[in-house]
A = this chain, B = another copy of it.
Amino acid sequence: MPELRKDPVLGRWIIISKERQKRPTDFPVEVSRGSGGFCPLCPGNESFTPPEVYAARPGNSPADSPGWDVRVVPNKYPALVIEGELAKEGVGQFDKMSGIGAHEVVIECPDHDERFSDLSPEKMARVFQAYKERILDLEKDHRFQYVMVFKNHGQAAGASLEHSHSQLIALPILPRMIVSELEGAKSHFNYKERCIFCDIIRQEIQQEERVVCQNELFITITPFAPRTPFEMWILPKTHRSSYYEMNERELEALSELFRETLQRLCGCIKNVPYNFVLHTGPLRSGNLEYYHWHFEIVPKLTSIAGFEWGSGFYINPLPPEEAAAYLRQVEN
């Protein structure tokens, strides 16, 4: 079983995933996968993945057969495993925990060659709906505190399969970044009695220079202190702390703006590798006054040297005001 271990100084948790274990001769592992090969995510190959946990099947075809628009399956090489007790243990002065969790793959479309950024808003909405359904289902499992949803697009951004997919990891702890975000947001709220993200949205709409695009319900900005060129955040304009509270109209509006945002990004840099991560409230946390869910899209353009991820200190050659101006210029 995988293990969760806590750095005693920083309080940072890491996963030791023996299921994915390697010997020294297996490194380096940055192997690219040929495009001509077999794809376990394509329709017809359903039996090569673990049984699906969710699918959008407009024709009501049977589970684990073709006919799906979106399909969610457990990861065949999971970083965390779903079966077992959540055992917590001290090892001398150290802390560890059994690696209980869920690790799922969201297959975003049946077509092997279609890219997420090219999906129609309707198709994209099905993916966002799948995230919502999976989070709602995983929330029932009280061993889990958080569901992290993320996408790696392009090999440079860590994707190991070509077929468009995102991933979802249910965790028995809160990731450090979310803890920091919650703490920062809470301290602002305690002082000002306002959500810091609502404050940011108000200021950005007024100043305009970091706004990339918006519609009635959502806004895309380049953040004031971005880690990388063209980093963008997509936020709901109305205060909401949990992603899965979205209704159908909001899902549609999100999909339209998400598509436009990625199209603008791809219009600036062709074939750009990127990651996005959903930032949402902890499971079962109810409606938090101080937190505001959002997506963070981080293009992988600069080489992140060890210095940068090791120190938490980023050097970005492009001011976000200029990035936003470039992104706005893309014809849509």
Partner-B contacts on A (CB < 8 A) = 3, 5-18, 20-24, 27-30, 79, 91-94, 148, 150, 152, 156-160, 167, 171, 175-178, 180-181, 184-185, 188, 196-197, 199-200, 203, 207, 223-227, 229-230, 268-269, 272-277, 296, 298, 300-320, 326
Contact at B298–A306, with CB atoms within 8 Å? yes
Contact at A152–B10, with CB atoms within 8 Å? no
Could you list 30 examples of A-B contacts with CB < 8 Å? A7-B224, A8-B196, A8-B200, A8-B225, A9-B180, A10-B181, A11-B180, A14-B316, A15-B313, A15-B315, A21-B317, A22-B229, A22-B317, A24-B268, A27-B269, A27-B272, A28-B273, A29-B303, A79-B315, A94-B225, A157-B305, A158-B304, A167-B307, A176-B312, A177-B313, A180-B312, A275-B310, A277-B306, A277-B307, A304-B304
Q: How far is the CA of A282 from the CA of B301 in the complex (A)?
A: 31
A-B pairs with lowest CB-CB distance, top 10: A275-B306, A158-B305, A176-B312, A5-B225, A20-B317, A9-B184, A7-B225, A150-B307, A309-B309, A177-B312
Task: List chain B residues, Cβ under 8 A from A6.
Answer: 225
Q: How far is the CA of A20 from the CA of B230 in the complex (A)?
A: 15
Q: A92-B207, A269-B27, A309-B304 are in contact. Are A17 and B315 (CB under 8 A)?
A: yes
CB distance from A298 to the nearest CB of B (A): 5
Contact at B315–A20, with CB atoms within 8 Å? yes
Contact at B200–A93, with CB atoms within 8 Å? yes
Task: List chain B residues, Cβ under 8 A from A10.
Answer: 177, 180-181, 184
Give the interface SS of chain A, mostly helix, strand, loop or mixed: mixed
Copies in the complex: 2
Contact at B313–A150, with CB atoms within 8 Å? no
- Besides A7-B223, A17-B315, 16 other CB < 8 A contacts? A10-B184, A14-B226, A16-B316, A17-B317, A22-B229, A23-B326, A28-B272, A30-B303, A93-B203, A152-B305, A157-B305, A158-B307, A176-B312, A177-B313, A277-B307, A298-B306
Task: List chain B residues, Cβ under 8 A from A312.
Answer: 12, 175-177, 180
Contact at B307–A12, with CB atoms within 8 Å? no
Task: List chain B residues, Cβ under 8 A from A3.
Answer: 319
